Amino acid sequence: MQKTNRHLKKETLNIDLFGNTPRTIKKRPTKLENALLKYDNSTFAERLERLKFIHKIYPGGLLLSGDMEFVFTFSEIKECFISGHFIATIVLTQAFIEKIFHQFFTDNDEIKIANQGLASMIKFARKNNMIISLILDRVDDLRLKRNPFTHTKEYSYPHTLQKRILKNKSQADKQLDDDAREAIQILFLITRHKLL
């Protein structure tokens, strides 16, 4: 079979002026690349454990639809948790749940309540028996833990990270990990069941 110009050109790209195949020179990783590789290796086991946790409790057959923000927020919550970004997990989970609640109240012709924020929606749902109390209790607990990360709170506020660490005799990283796990569990609980 006769070689075409394209085949000859491709072959000549892999040889030097003397017809020899050049030796491949391995590029040395930069300091930043080495730092990232070291971080990846040192956190791999923890990230794998969190991925297994999500895989174990992920709602089977779950298919999300909605606006791009809704779908991408759900995906990013899982990625944040796996990567150990616990505060981001907590904040994004509450934002996602608030959007679900907003849609629920809008669908039930309670637009005024829907626009008043999560605390008002929880209070209204509790008063009018619109959502089962287990879900309301867990969402409200998440809201109270999230608040100090998004709003300045007085020292007396009982749900700050510092207060919860002291109460639970825990370390900050462990407390945040536990909080993020609870947030993920609430998220999956709500996406698995209808609010009514």
DSSP state of 13: T
Which residue reads 């109460």 in tokens? 167
At residue 69, the pLDDT reads 87
Angle between helices 172-192 and 161-168 (to 10 degrees): 100
At residue 71, the pLDDT reads 86
At residue 74, the pLDDT reads 92
At residue 24, the pLDDT reads 72
Output the six-digit token pair for 162.
């510092």
Output the six-digit token pair for 11.
């072959």
Residues 6 or more apart from 158 whose CB is under 8 A from it?
A: none
Q: Are 189 and 142 in contact (CB under 8 A)?
A: no
Q: Which of 184, 195, 163, 196 is nearest to 59 (CA)?
A: 184
Cα–Cα dist 175/182, whole Å: 11
Q: What SS3 state is found at 131? A: coil
At residue 4, the pLDDT reads 55
At residue 103, the pLDDT reads 92
Residue type, 94: Q
Round the CA-based radius of gyration of the chain to a whole number and report it: 26
Cα–Cα dist 118/147, whole Å: 11
DSSP state of 25: P
3-state helix, strand, coil in the chain (%, to 5): 70, 0, 30
**Block mean pLDDT (10 aa), the chain, length 196:** 53 68 79 94 97 93 80 94 98 95 94 95 95 94 95 90 93 96 95 71
Neighbours of 89 (CB within 10 A): 28
Q: Which sign does the torsion angle of CA 14, 20, 24, 25 carry?
A: negative
